[in-house]
Amino acid sequence: MSPPPQGPRQAAVAFGANLERPFLALHLAEELLGLEEGLRFAARSGVWLTEPVGGPPGQDWYHNQVLLYETGLEAEKILELLLKTESALGRARRERWGPRIIDLDLIFLDGEVAQSGSLTLPHPRLQDRAFVLKPLLEVAPGWTHPVSGLALLDLLSRLPRGGPSLRRL
């Protein structure tokens, strides 16, 4: 990992929920993260309703959103705060792509490229997920993937047609 630059940087966090009251879960996660020192809210996308992919059949659709923060925190510390917030809201990690009360993913931290046992930046599957790319376009339209060099519109144009249904609420 390269050392992080000094001063505030932008961090994008994807929020997702499809159990119980997803709008409330998104709101509560935002509120809890707002209490954390070192994360300053900068922007919020609209909420996108997304058809579930993978996992057990019959899941409710996901509510997805991306929030942008300004921070001086390192990526591992941000991840720790996200996991703490998930836990506080009752997230239990049982199955991959299963239903969840809340899911928080660090999508990027400025142009940082990193890989460790617990964290990969930028998020390793963001280019495959319209439910991340479309809300991300609302809050960070000029962001460019630091590995591929592709802009968000280019990443969106590369998604296969006929993917999961997605609509902005």
The answer to whether residue 105 is catalytic is yes
Catalytic residue among 105, 110, 129, 168: 105
Catalytic residue among 21, 44, 60, 91: 91
Residue indicated by tokens 């144009």? 157
Q: Distance between CA 139 and CA 117 in Å, rounded?
A: 28
Catalytic residue among 100, 128, 158, 161: 100
Tokens representing 19 are 């159990």
Nearest CA among 39, 61, 29, 55 for reference residue 168: 61
The answer to whether residue 91 is catalytic is yes
Residues forming the active site? 91, 100, 103, 105
